[in-house]
Chain A
Amino acid sequence: MSGPSGGGRVGGGGPVGGGGPAVLVAGVSKVFNPGRTGQVEAVRGVDLEIERGEFISLIGPSGCGKSTLLRLVANLTDPTSGTVIVNGKTARQARLDQAYGMAFQQSGLFEWRTVTKNIELPLELRGWDRVRRQSRAAEMLKLVKLEDFADHHPWELSGGMQQRVAIARALAFDPPLLLMDEPFGALDEMTREHMQAELNRICEATGTTAVFVTHSIPEAVFLSDRVVVLSPRPGRIVTVVEVELGARNDDTRETPEFFKKITEVREALRGSA
């Protein structure tokens, strides 16, 4: 499959050295409730290789199994067949080693914890001491520009701010891989574009490999080095669109290349239906 794409941030190389892809998905299929009445084939025969530092979007019609594919990488569910390798380890081992951070559509912040305490959660689970946790949380708040809200509770924050906290939490222990399941799905369009620019900046700054599930074509194109287009259920890879927009800012959204890529992804989606 494809080598390093021409995208702007492959040069970052990711925080973890060593060779090999960040994620290797080989011949993966997933059937829910096999042999029972509710049998559903969610994903069929997916092969995907994600380079370190790359930003990949998974896009496809509703219920095409893109979230399932993400959960397979995260080892939140096991494949029926095929293998998933994350940073050279099995997906299970990668999860146990906390080799990735995850963000969901609902920010999933714990309402009883302050913003700082939410970011500290994965660090607590890793047994970091208090001083180290606090200094890292402060760093992460700076990264997502929420220093002034450290002691607020999630319900005092707007939806966009909550998602920024969720991303800060996912990145708190500096994982080499960031998995996101429609994290901006519940936000309004303006906030959403702002968050995309922020996410772009954060991934540039940290060199994190990212897998991003979305059903917004402009969002996928704006963020990604490559857009993986999936077919309706059972999800198969229809095509992979290489996006070569270089460094991105708000002006990127109005360039002809941007529109060209959007059209390319849209046509791939149509062709798959």
Chain B
Amino acid sequence: MAGVTQVPAVAERDPHVAAWRRRVRRVVMFVLALAVLAALWEGYKWFGQSVGDRVFGWRLPARSDNGSMPHVWDVVRRFGQPERRGTSHTIGATVAAGAWFTFRVAMAGFVVGVVVGMALAVVMQRFGVAERGLLPYVVLSQTVPLVALAPLVVGWGGNLTVFGIRWQLWMSVAVIAAYLAFFPVAIGGLRGLQAPGSEAVELMDSYAASWGQTLLKLRLPAAVPYLVPALKLAAASSVVGAVVAEISTGTKGGIGRLIIEYSREATSDPAKVYTAMIGAAALGLVVAALVGILDLVMMRHRPQVGS
């Protein structure tokens, strides 16, 4: 990093150069963090094995044998091997397919959640009575445990036909993902729509602008800085919601299902369950990256606040 300080001051001040340097640094840090994590894992294993999982007569919190903590390289190698004996497709392909399935369901839930959340925010902003009436229920909705909700949603969807399409199990999963995703959007959206000051609203009034015009030209653009973090939360929630909902509804084909399936084989094939968990983590990262791009697009030409 010593080289950085020797770069001419002009380049240092160029915002594009600085921005790219930040991005490169972020990628390097990410790779470094992964390496540190792997080193910690292997270090713990090595230490546990050499002291027999006991220090001064106390048991270590986790057992370090290969059955409980497979080597990092075993887990990585497992990705390239067949899922089970006699099958031709690898674990990597299966996990990727599962992550792709969950990704699509989570995104369907995300989109539905954003639409519903924004609609609620607009209604609550428009009618103060609706805000007082609706907001407590919006908050209350998030205290219902997902595991209790999942079978209910599946039950309701059971015999449903929407626009001539039979209700599918994945749709229930998407609905549950949406149930988690709409909340931050409704709250952040409401804050954002209420963000313009009285002078800005009076300005629109002085132009005799309609409610719709004020919404479109003032409130929605003013809400963007509030919506970006809300969308980040919503995206993360929709993935968590989709994974948990897959498990509790028994939906096949997704990463949540793989985690359950593989964990049943944990004693005979300990590396396997970790592949599914890494797949789920990677899915979360991909979604976070996508929302990061959305952030860049939505916040361009905006004043940069803070760092």
**In the complex, chain B residues whose CB is within 8 Å of the CB of A113:** 221
Considering only residues 194-217 of chain B, those with a C-beta below 8 Å from chain A are 197, 199-200, 202-203, 205-209, 213, 217
A162 to chain B, nearest CB (A): 13
**Once the chains bind, are B203 and A111 in contact (CB under 8 Å)?**
no
Q: CB of B119 within 8 A of chain A?
A: no
**In the complex, chain B residues whose CB is within 8 Å of the CB of A124:** 217
B147 to chain A, nearest CB (A): 42
A101-113 to B contact mask, C-beta < 8 Å, 1/0:
1101110101111
A200 to chain B, nearest CB (A): 23
**In the complex, chain A residues whose CB is within 8 Å of the CB of B205:** 76, 95
**Once the chains bind, are B301 and A112 in contact (CB under 8 Å)?**
yes
**In the complex, chain B residues whose CB is within 8 Å of the CB of A106:** 197, 199
Chain B residue at minimum C-beta to C-beta distance from A153: B301
Chain A residue at minimum C-beta to C-beta distance from B203: A108
**Once the chains bind, are B302 and A96 in contact (CB under 8 Å)?**
no
Dominant SS at the B interface?
helix
B217 partner, pick from A101, A104, A125, beta carbons under 8 A: A125
**Once the chains bind, are A110 and B303 in contact (CB under 8 Å)?**
no
Q: CA–CA, A155 to B209, complex, Å?
A: 25
**Once the chains bind, are A111 and B303 in contact (CB under 8 Å)?**
yes
Q: CB of B134 within 8 A of chain A?
A: no
Tell whether A112 pairs with B224 under 8 Å between CB atoms, given A95-B206, A153-B303: yes
Interface size, chain B (Cβ < 8 Å): 19
Q: CB of A74 within 8 A of chain B?
A: yes
**Once the chains bind, are A112 and B197 in contact (CB under 8 Å)?**
no
Q: CB of B218 within 8 A of chain A?
A: yes
**Once the chains bind, are B203 and A104 in contact (CB under 8 Å)?**
yes
Q: CA–CA, A186 to B49, complex, Å?
A: 70
**In the complex, chain B residues whose CB is within 8 Å of the CB of A74:** 202, 206
Q: CA–CA, A153 to B300, complex, Å?
A: 11
**Once the chains bind, are B302 and A112 in contact (CB under 8 Å)?**
yes
Using a CB–CB distance below 8 Å, which chain A residues touch chain B? 71, 74, 76, 95-98, 100-102, 104-106, 108, 110-114, 121-122, 124-125, 153, 155, 179
17 additional A-B pairs beyond A76-B205, A104-B202, A106-B197, beta carbons within 8 Å, are: A74-B206, A76-B202, A95-B208, A102-B202, A105-B199, A108-B197, A108-B199, A111-B303, A112-B221, A112-B222, A112-B301, A114-B301, A121-B207, A121-B217, A125-B217, A153-B301, A153-B303
